[in-house]
Amino acid sequence: MPVEPDAFVAAMSHHWQTTLRNVTSSSLEAVWHQMASTFNHQIATAGTPGGQRWKVLQPATGTGKSQGLAVYCAMLPPIAHPGVLIVTRLKSQADEIARTVNILAGEQVSVAYHGDTSIATEALIFCPVLVITHRAYEIGMDAINRGQPNVSNWSRYHAWGEGTRKLVVIDEALDIIEEAQIDLSQVKFVQAVIPFTVAEDHPAEMNAIATLEDILVRIARLTRDREKPERERVLALAMPNVFDMTPLRRALKDIRLDQRLLHRRDDEQNRKLRKHYDTILRDIQATLENWSWYAKKLGDHTMNTARLIVPDDINGAVILDATASSNLIYKLFDSRVDIVPVPSKARAYGNVTLHVSMGHAVGKSTMVKAAKEEGPRLVANLKATLGQHRKIPASINSRLATGTRLTVVTTGRTSIRRSSSDCHIGTRSGPRTPSWHCGAFKTPHG
């Protein structure tokens, strides 16, 4: 076997205690033994029907999943190396994992490949351990699913030596459902942003956008005078024959939107504006080429769609996901996914006290209106409950931050904000963050 599980547990225990200054336990060691055994099994079954099954390991946060993955990769034998592809959420995390593997191995066996690296794609085949981002992997899966493998580096990510990598490990769950939502204001904005000359060069794309605008206008007019609430419904509509927005999206990248919209040159704002309108065009295409449903959300009439981007014949991977037991996505793949039971008591929550506030609205629309009043109340309550010198993490929608009088301190993937009571608040705008209700705001599962 590639890495003997008992030897892995011994190496991980040493790393856990000596390098990370943590305390080990028999429960933690059981988790690490399970990790090594699962990785070994995936390598042994590569290229077989068993290797096409996905394995989900679900140890709790803080049990050493990412660190254990690095230790395992560092212990793989250089001769007959199986080849490993690691997929992580952020570029900074990819850099960190590759750096940790190399430090533990005592030589460079791992590289991170993303938009900020300069390594040639032709050289990836010679890297024993390759680390990429979730987005790169999702784009590759989508390209395979669309029958367009050449538009991504999918084959280069998996190539190793004279064959393919035998172990793919995905750190945290992927966004394997691509969602799209379009409302009338977004369509009108993107029409106004596109210069006349660009629009003239792309008549088919502009016609498709106009068709979608017409549909949304008709829906708005039909529902305007109704007294009963609008319900979500599946739409059966005639769509244009041409709806590929790729040429228009490419043309939009050459336009200085900062100068066009803000009347000044600002590279960072230009990047944000370009990304914003590119996402709208992407969602317009997704809405036109897939089935759609109507929903009225926050007063806007929207068309929505979603699709699975995982190809049917893709090779399996090992997913490290602490929230797997509550993630309904895996139920879509119940015939192809094995959720591995986690050893018990790897982490204990005996010292956790939950403070739950009930009986009032905490939705985004309500809180946007009430943030200025509720923000100071939240800070005062925390200050009275915790005292002057304690700090806690919390998560609120980014649109509500102004109501708490916070200043931004950026630390990696999350914006940390400090209030007058020294309470640290991290804002998130993502729609899928699981949360508890805490006062008028939301805090993530700990």
Residue range 120-174, pLDDT digits in tens: 999 999 999 999 999 888 888 877 777 777 778 888 999 998 899 999 999 988 7
Question: How much is the pLDDT for 421?
Answer: 33
Question: Given the structure tokens 């090594």, which residue do they identify?
Answer: 36
**3-state SS assignment for residue 301:** strand
Cα separation of 436 and 190, whole Å? Answer: 36
Burial call 244-278: b when 16+ CB within 10 Å, e when fewer: ebeebbebbeebebbeebeeeeeeeebeebbeebb
Q: Which pLDDT band holds residue 383 (cuts at 50, 70, 90)?
A: confident
Give the pLDDT mean for 59-77.
94
Q: Which pLDDT band holds residue 237 (cuts at 50, 70, 90)?
A: low
Element (DSSP H or E) covering residue 135: helix 134-145
Give the pLDDT mean for 407-426.
35
Cβ atoms 289, 309 nearer than 8 A: no
Give the pLDDT mean for 333-351.
80
- Average per-residue pLDDT for the chain: 81
Cβ atoms 344, 25 nearer than 8 A: no
Cα separation of 420 and 407, whole Å? Answer: 9
- Residue 408 pLDDT > 70, yes or no? no
**343: phi > 0 → left, psi -120 to 50 → alpha, else beta; which?**
beta
Give 299 or 281, the one with higher predicted confidence: 281
Give the pLDDT mean for 205-224.
87
Cα separation of 102 and 91, whole Å? Answer: 17
**3-state SS assignment for residue 182:** strand
Question: How much is the pLDDT for 419?
Answer: 35
233 vs 219, 290, 414, CA distance in Å? 12, 15, 36
Tokens of 217: 């206008």
Tell me which DSSP letter residue 413 carries. Answer: T
Cα separation of 438 and 427, whole Å? Answer: 14
Cα separation of 311 and 238, whole Å? Answer: 27
pTM of the predicted structure, to 2 decimals:
0.72
Question: How much is the pLDDT for 397?
Answer: 63
Tell me which DSSP letter residue 258 carries. Answer: I
Element (DSSP H or E) covering residue 56: strand 54-57
Q: What percentage of residues in the chain have a pLDDT greater than 70?
A: 84
From the list 214, 194, 215, the residue with the least C-alpha distance to 205 is: 194
Question: How much is the pLDDT for 242?
Answer: 67
Question: How much is the pLDDT for 203?
Answer: 93
Question: How much is the pLDDT for 399?
Answer: 59
From the list 175, 190, 64, 253, the residue with the least C-alpha distance to 432 is: 175
Among 150-159, 345-354, 394-403, the range of highest mean pLDDT: 150-159
Give the pLDDT mean for 378-392.
77
